[in-house]
C-alpha cells in the first residue's frame, strides 16, 4: 500500500501559501493512490526540539550507553526516520524565513541524519534513496536571476545538501512573490505573483496525473 508523508512547517496558519500547496499536492496524491495512507507531521505547530548536548551525544554513543535524555532524543530520530522509510512520497512545505529555511525544518533534517538508520556508516550510502521527495516552496519576494536579491534564498540551495547523506533528492515546486498582494510597494508585481502561483499549481496537478491513452 502506498504511503505519503506530508510535512508542513509554516507558522502562518491559514495565510500560508506553502500549506495550501502541500494540501493541494496531498489531494492530488490521494486521487492517484486510492487506498493509500497519509502520515502527517506539522513542524510549524509541533516542532522537533533543536539538538542539544544530549541529542548530539546520543548520535555518538551506542543506544545501550544512553542516558534517559539521550535515549529520548534518539527515540525521536528513530520516529522521524521510520516515517520517511514508510513513505513512497514525501511532501515538504518550505517557506522562506529571513532568507533561510524555518529552524523547524533544519531540526527535522538534523533528526533525519542518523548513522545506521538513514545512511550506512561504512559505505556512507543513503538508506532513503528511491523515494519521491517533493518540496513545495513559497517565497514572499523574488529571488530569480536578475533580481536585486538573487542568491539571497538560502533555503532551496541548502536542502539538497542537507539531506544528501540519506539519498533523498528533492524536487522543488516554488511560488514566488507571495507577499505582493498584501504589500503596497509590491502592488505592481501582483500579476507576476499570480502567474507564479498558477504555474506551481499546474505543476502540482500534473505530478501524478495519468497520461491519456489514444483511442
DSSP H helical ranges for 163-206: 190-205
Strand partners, 174: 137
Looking at residue 21, its pLDDT comes to 98
Sheet with 89-95, edge to edge strand ranges: 37-42, 3-8, 89-95, 132-138, 170-175
Determine the 3-state secondary structure of 115 from DSSP: strand
Whole-model pTM over 0.85: yes
For each of the chain's 215 residues, which pLDDT tens digit applies? 899 999 999 999 999 999 999 999 999 999 999 999 999 999 999 999 999 998 989 999 999 999 999 999 999 999 999 999 999 999 999 999 999 999 999 999 999 999 999 999 999 999 999 999 999 999 999 998 999 999 999 999 999 999 999 999 999 999 999 999 999 999 999 999 999 999 999 999 999 987 544 44
Calculate the CA dihedral of residues 103, 106, 107, 113 and round it to 10 degrees: 180
Buried b (16+ CB within 10 A) or exposed e, 47-86: bbeebeebbebbbeeeeeebeeebeebbebbeebbebbee
Domain 3-205 CATH class label: alpha beta
- Domain ranges within the chain, ordered by starting residue: 3-205
Looking at residue 68, its pLDDT comes to 95
Q: Assess contact for 92 and 134: CB atoms under 8 A.
A: yes
Determine the 3-state secondary structure of 13 from DSSP: helix
The set of residues, in sequence order, having a beta carbon less than 8 Å from that of 118 and lying 6+ positions away, is: 81, 84, 112, 126, 127, 128, 165, 166
Going by C-alpha positions, the residue among 93, 103, 195 that lies closest to residue 142 is 195
How far is 123 from 119, CA to CA, in rounded Å?
Answer: 8
Looking at residue 210, its pLDDT comes to 73
How far is 90 from 82, CA to CA, in rounded Å?
Answer: 12
Looking at residue 213, its pLDDT comes to 45
The set of cell numbers assigned to 148 is: 536585486
Amino acid at each position: 500500500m502506498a504511503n505519503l508523508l506530508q510535512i508542513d512547517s509554516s507558522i502562518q496558519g491559514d495565510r500560508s501559501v506553502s500549506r495550501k500547496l502541500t494540501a493541494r499536492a496531498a489531494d492530488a496524491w490521494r486521487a492517484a493512490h486510492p487506498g493509500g495512507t497519509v502520515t502527517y507531521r506539522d513542524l510549524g505547530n509541533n516542532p522537533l526540539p533543536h539538538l542539544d548536548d544530549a541529542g548530539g551525544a546520543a548520535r555518538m554513543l551506542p543506544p545501550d550507553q544512553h542516558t534517559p535524555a539521550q535515549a529520548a532524543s534518539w527515540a525521536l530520530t528513530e520516529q522521524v526516520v521510520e516515517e520517511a522509510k514508510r513513505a513512497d512520497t514525501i511532501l515538504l512545505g518550505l517557506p522562506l524565513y529571513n532568507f533561510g529555511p524555518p529552524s523547524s525544518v533544519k531540526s527535522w533534517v538534523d533528526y533525519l541524519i542518523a548513522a545506521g538508520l538513514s545512511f550506512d556508516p561504512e559505505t556512507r550510502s543513503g538508506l532513503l534513496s528511491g523515494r519521491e521527495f517533493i518540496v513545495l516552496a513559497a517565497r514572499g519576494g523574488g529571488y530569480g536571476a536578475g533580481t536585486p536579491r538573487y542568491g539571497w534564498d538560502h533555503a532551496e540551495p541548502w536542502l539538497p545538501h542537507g539531506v544528501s547523506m540519506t539519498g533523498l533528492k528533492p524536487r522543488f515546486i516554488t511560488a514566488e512573490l507571495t507577499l505582493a498582494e498584501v504589500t503596497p510597494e509590491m502592488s505592481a508585481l501582483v500579476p507576476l505573483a499570480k502567474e507564479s502561483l498558477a504555474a506551481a499549481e499546474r505543476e502540482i496537478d500534473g505530478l501524478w496525473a495519468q497520461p491519456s491513452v489514444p483511442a
